Structure 1
Amino acid sequence: MTRRPQALPLDATLYEAARIMRDEGIGDVLVTLGGRLCGLVTDRDIVVRGVAERRDASHTPLGEVCSADLVTVGPDDDLDTAARLMRDQAIRRLPVVDAERRPLGIVSIGDLARADGMGPGVLAGICQAPPNF
């Protein structure tokens, strides 16, 4: 799990999220309202729901493009639960939240590959590679 994930409030802009993604070398930012998870925005969301629709990144709030119907896990859920949810829901990122829905982390496919002890396999290698930008 990635601890202390990057998060922005619902009214932050696409531009702010894109800058965090660039600066941190990540592909997603959690979206919060009052400190509680209410969405997730990915680099793909910014491109497909923002840029491709000619939205102004400096003025478009994350609430207009983020995914809001999120599947989450709690801090005590095990890896098998996370893997099953990711497989069944066809998702690549799984926010970890506490009982009040405050974000604690994110489990990604890469996290699962590393935790599974995948040795020199292709997926493990890709997941461990540094960003290429």
Structure 2
Amino acid sequence: MKDAVCVTPEQTLAAAARILKRENIGCLPVCQDDTVLGMITDRDIAMRGVADGFDSNVMKVSDVMSLDIIRCGEDDTVESAVLTMHAAHVQRLAVTNADGHLVGVISISDVEGGASERRPYEVVFYREILGNAGMPHHSELMRVAVAQGTKQEAVEAAIAQFEKAQQVSNWATVATGYDVVTMSVDADGRHLENLECTSERDARIRPRARTLWEEAGAPEGREVQFWEQAANEVDANRRPANDAH
């Protein structure tokens, strides 16, 4: 994180706009004695101030700031902060300590470290279901960004976060599987993403599920039943002989 640049509620919109321009950022925490009271963005200034014909040299930050503060704790993980930013569709978060006092600001660019150091992995958890035509598709449940470590370490960290978010002890009770997106940057600075599907099991289940569905007369609304039946058959067939008893 970086040191926070703040405005006070009593500063004018013009003053806030100058700070945004100087720092080349889109939003500012609004603070009083290190306590975050709200946030103000360039859009707030443009749409709720200037566009309505108010004088930006007179109107106060407190008149247009948002009281819905998007923040994270200083002890939160980087991955948690990224998830918060993605969920809220924001680029920056106020970072507060246990007492709620502002200690810094973190942004997507800080996390990704610029073009040459994007976070290397995203783990996408999904549940696979069959559509009305018996064709399977993935329903994404959660996407977890992992900033560092090996791919296996990234998967383990993502599973831990997914289980915590879903409040389950085993991710497989909620999700059918997960895919791993490896991120990199080539010599020309272009962002590359390589999707590794963890679908060997799915590839075995899919045709069997379709067969079961067709044999049953292609009924609607029972896709999950056929998928789970096929999955049980596939898992039983893949089980080692000494585990069958």
**Largest Rg, 1 or 2:** 2
The structure with the greater share of residues assigned to strand is 2
- Where does residue 131 of structure 1 map in the other structure? none
Task: For residue 30 of structure 2, give the secondary structure of its aligned residue in structure 1.
Answer: strand
Runs of 4+ in 1 over 3 A off after TM superposition: none
Q: CA deviation at 1:82?
A: 0.6
Q: CA deviation at 1:58?
A: 0.9
Q: CA deviation at 1:69?
A: 0.8
User: What runs of 5+ residues in structure 2 fail to find an aligned partner?
Assistant: 121-183, 192-245
Distance (whole Å) between structure 1 residues aligned to residue 190 and residue 78 of structure 2: 19
Aligned pair count?
121
- Where does residue 56 of structure 1 map in the other structure? 55
**Structure of greater relative contact order (alpha carbons < 8 Å, 6+ residues apart):** 1
* Corresponding position: 1:107 with 2:106: yes
Q: CA deviation at 1:66?
A: 1.3
Distance (whole Å) between structure 1 residues aligned to residue 112 and residue 3 of structure 2: 20
Distance (whole Å) between structure 1 residues aligned to residue 48 and residue 99 of structure 2: 29
- Where does residue 20 of structure 1 map in the other structure? 19
Structure 1, residues 66-111: CA drift from partner, whole Å, max 9, x if none? 1211121111111110111112222222110112222222222222
Q: CA deviation at 1:56?
A: 1.1
CA separation of 1:93 and 1:44: change in aligned 2, threshold 3 A: same
- Given that 2:12 and 2:61 are in contact with CA atoms closer than 8 Å, whether structure 1 keeps it comes out as yes
* Corresponding position: 1:89 with 2:88: yes
- Where does residue 30 of structure 1 map in the other structure? 29
Q: CA deviation at 1:26?
A: 2.5
CA separation of 1:70 and 1:121: change in aligned 2, threshold 3 A: farther
Distance (whole Å) between structure 1 residues aligned to residue 90 and residue 22 of structure 2: 24
Using structure 1 for the length normalisation, give the TM-score. 0.79
Identity in percent: 31
* Corresponding position: 1:116 with 2:119: yes
User: What runs of 5+ residues in structure 1 fail to find an aligned partner?
Assistant: 123-133
- Given that 2:39 and 2:68 are in contact with CA atoms closer than 8 Å, whether structure 1 keeps it comes out as no
Distance (whole Å) between structure 2 residues aligned to residue 88 and residue 27 of structure 1: 18
